[in-house]
Amino acid sequence: SPQPPSAARTMPQRMAKLKEDVHKIRGALAEQRKVIGDRARDFSIFIVWAASGIAQ
């Protein structure tokens, strides 16, 4: 016979899975914030360098 759908899991199992998913998402977002921050810093340095070249 077919297995019951995953929605049939018990509430504690579903809550544990949800907490695990939220933890993974938070970790991924922290990584994204770091990458975006690094890119913004690099871009800022480039803009200052380019502007100083134009000003000369």
Distance CA 43, CA 53 (A): 15
pLDDT at position 55 is 80
The residues spanned by each domain of the chain are 11-55
Q: Is the pTM of this model over 0.85?
A: no
Alpha-carbon distance 14 to 12, whole Å?
A: 5
Tens digit of each residue's pLDDT (9 = 90 or more) over 1-54: 666 665 567 999 999 999 999 999 999 999 999 999 999 999 999 999 999 998
